[in-house]
Each structure stands twice: as C-alpha cells, then as structure tokens.
Amino acid sequence: MDKGSTEAADTLLIRSCLAGERIAFDRLVLRYKDRVFSLCLRLLGDYDDADDCAQETFIKVHRALPRFRFESAFSTWLYRIAVNTCMSSRSSRAFRMKKNLVSLNGMDAGARESLEISSGNPHPTPDQELERRERERLLQEAIDALPPDQRAVVVLRDVEVLSYDEITGITGLNLGTVKSKLSRARLKLRGKLEGLL
Amino acid sequence: MDCTNVQQLLDEYLEGALDERERKLVEEHLASCGDCTRSMAFLRAYRREMRNLRAVRAPADFLRNVHSRMRERRPFRDLLVRLFSPSGLKLPLELAGVTAVALAALVLFGVVGGGRDRGALTQSRWRTGEISRAERAAGRKEDRDLPPEVIAMDLEEESTEGSLAVEAMPGEELSGDEIPRDVVPEILGKAESPRDAPREEPRPRAPAGGRLPEAYPREPAPPAGAAAEAGEEKLPLREDTEEVPAGPGEPSPAEEGPGMELTVLMPQEEPPEGSGEQAPAGEEHVLEVVRAIEALGGKIVFKEYRGSSGGPAVINAVIPGSGYRMLIHELERLGRVVGPDGAGAAPEGEDLPGPQEELQVRIRFMSGAATGTE
C-alpha cells in the first residue's frame, strides 16, 4: 500500500473513530502497534518499558484524537507522541532507577523470543542466532549510549528508515539540525561499532 | 569537493538521492580518498545492520492491554459521572480536584477538629489560586508528550470553557460533550448495576452500549466499512476474532430453540407533521441495543429496522446469561419492556439464566400505541 492510500485509510479510520466507531480505533492500533512498539523498544532498550510506552502512546492518541487536525500524516503525529512519551519515560526517576538495576542483558528469555527480529536467514542455526542476538545487543547498547536527542534521530532515520521530512515533522527540529545530530550520532556509533561491522 | 562535503552527502549517495552532478563528484572523491571510502563502507554496513533491527512485533495481547489500561484509569471518573452527571451539575476541574483531596484527607487522617484549620488553609490556598496552579501543573504533566499544537488547543479550550462535567485524567480536559463517543461506554461502563441505576426522568441518554458492566468484553463485528472500500489491507479486528453469523435468513432464536422474547414498548413520539402517522422506532434505538448487546459479549444473529419490511424493528441475539439483567436495563431506557405474556421481563430467582448460560433473545420494538392493539 503506498503512502497516499495509507494516509487516506488512516483518515477514514480516524473519522470513523471520531464518529463513535470504537472498532476504528482498534484498527488504528492494530495497524500501527508493531511500528510504535518497535520504535519504543529502540528508544528505550527495554521490552517492558517499550510495551508500557507504546500502550501509553495509544491511550494518549485516543484521548487527543478529537483534536487531531489532519495537518500532518497521522503516522507522523503518532510517532511524535510516541517519541515524546519515550523521552519523558526515560527521564523519569523510576526509569533511571530501573536502568541501574537491570541491564539489557536482563531482558527475560520469553520477551526476547517474542521480539522476532527479522534477519536475512529465516532458519538460522543456533550459532547464527546467538551471533545475531549478540550483534543486536551491541547495536542496542550503542544506541542507548547516545544522548536522547541523537538517539531519537538515529532510530527514526537509521532503524525506522523515515524520510528527513518525516523526521523534522516528528521531532520539530529543522532539517539542518536533524542532519547535524545524525552526523554526530553516527560518528559516536562508528567509534563503538567499528569492530563489529 | 572536500571530505566534509562528501561525508555529508554519503547518506544520500547510498540512497541514490543525489543528482547526476553530485553523484559524479562524490564518486571522484571516493576514488581518491581512503578515509571517505572507509566511511562509506562503514555507513553501508551500519545501515544494513540498523535496518535489520526493524521488524519487532508488539506483544500478542497488546490491544487487549490498551483496552484494559483505558478501563483501569476511569474508576474516579466513573464516580464523578455517577455523582454529577444525572443532576447536570458541572464542576471546575480545580474544585473537583480539591474536593477529592479533601475527601481523601478526611478519610485517611480522620480530620474532624484539627481538620478545620487545614480546611481553612485549603480554602485560603484555593482563593489565592495556589492549588489551581499546582493542580494544573500536575494535570499538564502528561500533555507534555502531546504535540504542542494539541496542547495549545487545550489551553484555548480551557480558557474559554472554564467548567467541566467530569474529573479529567491528568493532562486531560473532558466535558460531557468532549468525551469521545466511543469512550463514554467505558467511562460509564462499570458505574452502575441495573439495581442501583437511577431511573428518574428525564436523564441524559448515554451513547450506545453505555451503562454496562464491561465496556470492552469483546469488540463488535467490523463495519462493512468505508475503510475496506477504500482498498485498505484487511487486518484482524481483534486478536482472537470470532466469526459472528449475521444477516437476513438466519433462523430466529424461537425457531432454533428456547429463548426469551421481549417487546420494548417505545414511548409514542410526535408524528411527522401532516403525515397523520405514528413516528417509527428510530434506527438509532436499534443500533443502541445492538451495541449494548455486543458490549455485553453477545452476538447479533439478525436485525431488522422498522420500515425495511413494514413490520416492527427486531433484533435476534445470543447473550451470556450474566448479561440478561443488563440488557433489560438497557432496553428499559428506551421504553417499557414486557415478556411474551405481556408481563414484566425481568425474571427473578430460579427464572434467571445462569451466568455461563447462553440465552437467545428476540427483541421487538413497538410503539406504545401499536402494542396496545396486540
């Protein structure tokens, strides 16, 4: 489905939702839950926190939907709320305390297995799977070590593969600032990942 | 073109987003610069690795958890709706907040004598606006995460409206009219049982499915929706979707086996001017009941609006026994409900279906005058 028809479908669902069709909101959630969850996971580096923030994002969307003015794509608006929710969550005291106690390695096995991160090989051997997970852990750790503003830009651009236009819409930053943050972030990541890649 | 310029263009070069002239300049530079070549090799590998991180699925019960969380947040709002909505009383958000805090203090600390001083202090702070600001600050905490234009709209609305019917969640301003229609059943949902529901008239009519114990026990069947017509991808509408048979030609519960036949005697409305006829039962009433049944966890087997075949509106449904009383209560909001023998429809004692039992119901909507002749 191309971008235009996705936006048209979103608009229809939003209007149905505003007209009282509860099912329309559920459809919006189902359309975007994986993308929002993925974004939250990359921004937070923690499965439970990502689940929590992704749910919170949709609750906020539900509440604010009557005030959505269709001035941007719904997905941009949704991502913006998700990014802000994650940033608020990361700065909360509870999150920092938890981070001190539980590292990414502490992510429980069940949660990890349910991540279902795609890889080129659909049937990896145990060794390949182990290696993939290790690479993923190192990448996530490197992302986690970035300052929040750079992390958001990196995740939106390099993980979610959004356009610069979309990123400026989501972050509220201008194009030059986005590129500058991205450049600095990549430089830091290169220092951490050069041996890995 | 120097290294700095080339480094800035590498991303777009790899995307193929550069024009012909820029692409050639970058390639010429790369051919002669080891640092930039290594940068590009890293960037290429880096992009591939990062994009491999993309496909992460949300937990299977994500939607259900969103619903649960939405329900969990509403008990206090439920209480205020029950307290103030029937009387149409509107309270400013700050006053509602202060009242809640005062009540909590009274309950927790048993403030009676000494509490007067604290109460006076509270009143004083209220007058000076200190509490108002604090409450607002707390209330705004969550809204920091919303885009600024939404927050700005909130502030505009707040400055012009001033009073609210319902205690809002932190960061949320909701009056009765502002509550999204699909939220209202949840807000009102857990508030009342049929026994304690106020019956006096007039009272505001909740949107369809309102005043039921479980607002989200299961999602209704998808609308034969505009979204689908627009070529939207078909998505599961719930994580454990059930097929619900529906449509004309379905056997009525009476044909299938034992069930309950209910007739709703609708108040006679003013006939359309000059028609000389009685106004038909509205489609909206049927839809209200349909939604209520779905909210109760029931399935609509068949429905017909008045006028489609000249007869009365009819709904055939299967509901859980535990929802029977709720259904009766919902129907009573529309009119008097009678059983097949013309007696009241609310069974007592042994006549009540068991909570786990599936009950087939056939509901007919009749005008008061029409039923008088039956």
DSSP string covering B260-272: EEEEEEEPPPPPP
Q: Do the beta carbons of residue B145 and residue A92 sit within 8 Å?
A: no
The pLDDT-based confidence of B243 (bands split at 50, 70, 90) is very low
Q: Would you call B55 and A16 a contact, using CB atoms and an 8 Å cutoff? A: no
Least confident of A106-120, B39-53, B132-146, B160-174: B160-174
Q: What is the pLDDT of residues A155-179, one digit of tens each?
A: 999 988 899 999 999 999 999 999 8
Q: Would you call B150 and A172 a contact, using CB atoms and an 8 Å cutoff? A: no
Q: Would you call B42 and A115 a contact, using CB atoms and an 8 Å cutoff? A: no
Minimal Cβ distance to A58: which of B66, B149, B181: B66
Averaged pLDDT of chain B: 61
How close, in Å, is residue A147 to chain B by CA atoms? 18
Q: What is the pLDDT of residues B297-337, one digit of tens each?
A: 888 887 776 655 556 788 888 888 777 877 887 787 777 88
Is the pLDDT reported for residue B185 higher than 70?
A: no
Q: What is the pTM of this model?
A: 0.50
Minimal Cβ distance to A197: which of B42, B207, B238: B42
Minimal Cβ distance to A159: which of B42, B54, B62: B54
Q: Do the beta carbons of residue A28 and residue A77 sit within 8 Å?
A: no
Q: In what order do the strands lie in the sheet with B358-367?
A: B299-304, B313-320, B358-367, B260-266, B336-338
The proportion of chain B whose per-residue pLDDT surpasses 70, expressed as a percent, equals 40
The pLDDT-based confidence of A196 (bands split at 50, 70, 90) is confident
Complete DSSP assignment for A54-75: HHHHHHHHHHHGGG--SSS-HH
- B137 Cβ contact partners less than 8 Å away, ≥ 6 residues apart: none
Residue bearing the bigger pLDDT, B170 or A191 = A191
What residues of chain B, 99 to 158, have a C-beta less than 8 Å from chain A?
142, 144-150, 153-154
Q: What is the pLDDT of residues A73-86, one digit of tens each?
A: 999 999 999 999 99
Q: B224 — contact with chain A (CB < 8 Å)? A: no
CA-based end-to-end distance of chain B: 93
Q: Would you call A24 and B227 a contact, using CB atoms and an 8 Å cutoff? A: yes
Least confident of B51-60, B175-184, B307-316: B175-184
Distance of CA B95 to the CA centre of its chain: 26
Q: Would you call A136 and B50 a contact, using CB atoms and an 8 Å cutoff? A: no
Most confident of A11-15, A88-92, B51-55, B287-291: A11-15
The CA distance from A89 to B207, in Å, is 35
Partners of residue A23 in chain B, C-beta under 8 Å: 219-220, 222-223, 237
The radius of gyration of chain B from alpha carbons, rounded to an integer in Å, stands at 30
The proportion of chain A whose per-residue pLDDT surpasses 90, expressed as a percent, equals 45
Least confident of A124-128, B60-64, B93-97, B117-121: B117-121
Q: B234 — contact with chain A (CB < 8 Å)? A: no
Specify the amino acid at residue B243.
Answer: E
Partners of residue A172 in chain B, C-beta under 8 Å: 148
Q: B46 — contact with chain A (CB < 8 Å)? A: yes
Residue bearing the bigger pLDDT, A53 or B273 = A53
For B7, name the nearest residue in chain A, comparing CA atoms only.
Answer: A183
Q: Would you call B65 and A51 a contact, using CB atoms and an 8 Å cutoff? A: yes
What residues of chain B, 177 to 206, have a C-beta less than 8 Å from chain A?
178, 180-183, 185
For B228, name the nearest residue in chain A, comparing CA atoms only.
Answer: A9
Q: Would you call A63 and B8 a contact, using CB atoms and an 8 Å cutoff? A: no
The pLDDT-based confidence of B90 (bands split at 50, 70, 90) is low
Q: B3 — contact with chain A (CB < 8 Å)? A: no
Partners of residue B172 in chain A, C-beta under 8 Å: 63
